[in-house]
Amino acid sequence: MKIDILTLFPESFSYLNSSILKRAQESGKIEINIIDIRAFSLDKHKKCDDYPFGGGAGMLMMVQPVYDAVKSVQDENAVIVMPSPSGKTLNVESVKELSKLEHIIFICGHYEGLDERIKDIFHPIEISIGDYVLTGGELPTMVIVDAVSRFVSGVINEESLKEESFSSGLLEYPQYTRPADFIGYKVPDVLLSGNHAEIEKWRKEKSLEKTKQIRPDLLKKL
Ligand code: ADE
């Protein structure tokens, strides 16, 4: 999968070069390119924002630099995504759908938003990561890229995907590693028993208990 990220703040994306996503890029499972929109500005000061016509608070990202940045990477397979609080909220189903795509271009808005003509020209899919407003599209883009990459074949162990929260419709059961007793906080006996059927049963019960307590809405979807 190829991912192009168009942004005015390329330095924000160093997170994508660590841990699992770093390995996924090194092994060629995903390719991530960060494109600086400012490089496409025709202004001598590389200005990319301006006042809204008709007045109003704040600045808007200008259409021309964003248009040229998209055109520099767009091909016939590319799907354009624009993180936005007014998009549909991301969930495990939309993450899985996005993970099947060959090429995604993210446009990160900033300031008070973008000139509306970007949407008129490219018809991006708008995706929200929750009902709150962030200062720009950079963090939502990283959230979406991270979540989507996990479903790209070979990026993480397929077993982890099956067992994790939301894939089964339930929240994940608690897990422990050594030591079995830490300052009196003990690992549940059943996990040390070696009885796989009992362990499985305990994990299911814990998942259900946790989901009932924290996310009862998920149980209605089962
Ligand atoms: N940009 C600003 N807030 C956002 C949100 N909640 N989701 C996606 N993009 C955003």
pLDDT at 141 over 90: yes
CATH number for the domain spanning 191: value is 1.10.1270.20
Phi first, then psi, for residue 100 (nearest 5°) are -85, -10
> 78 and 116: one domain?
yes
Same domain, 184 and 147: no
Q: Where are the alpha helices (DSSP H) in 133-195?
A: 138-149, 158-163, 189-192
Range of the domain at 29: 2-156
Residue 211 clears pLDDT 80, i.e. is over it: yes
Kindly state the average pLDDT of the residues 171-192: 97
Check if the beta carbon of residue 116 is closer than 8 Å to that of residue 91. no
Distance separating alpha carbons of residues 202 and 143, to the nearest angstrom: 32
Domains in the chain: how many in total? 2
pLDDT for 57-88, tens place per residue?
899 999 999 999 999 999 999 999 999 999 99
Does the global pTM surpass 0.75? yes
Q: Do 148 and 39 fall within a single domain?
A: yes
Is 117 inside any structural domain?
Answer: yes
Q: Quote the pLDDT of residue 31.
A: 98
Ligand 1 mean position to 126 CA, how many Å?
9
- Return the best residue to mutate from 119, 127, 128, 144 for the ligand 1 pocket (most ligand atoms within 8 A of CB): 128
Can you give the pLDDT at residue 112?
81
Question: What is the rounded CA–CA span in Å between residue 210 and residue 21?
Answer: 29
Average pLDDT, the chain: 96
Residue 19 pLDDT: 95
Within-domain flag for 161:
no
43 with 105, same domain: the answer is yes
pLDDT band at 209 (very low <50, low <70, confident <90, very high): very high
Q: Ligand 1 in contact with 124 (CB < 6 A)? A: no
Candidate from 7, 61, 82, 84 with most ligand 1 atoms within 8 A of CB, to mutate? 84
Is the pLDDT at 143 greater than 90? The verdict is yes
Triad 70, 54, 106: Cα angle to 5°: 20
Nearest CA to ligand 1 atom 2: 134
Let me know the angle formed at the C-alpha of 13 by 7 and 19, rounded to the nearest 5 degrees: 155
Q: Which of 69, 96, 48, 92 is nearest to 6 (CA)?
A: 69
Same domain, 174 and 151: no
Q: What is the pLDDT of residue 208?
A: 96
Pairwise pLDDT comparison (30 vs 158), residue with the higher score: 30
Instruction: Kindly tell me if the per-residue pLDDT of 163 is higher than 80.
Output: no
Residues paired with 6 in a beta bridge: 35, 107
Residue 162 has pLDDT above 90, yes or no: no
Q: Between β-strands 103-107 and 2-7, what pairing exists: parallel, antiparallel or unpaired?
A: parallel
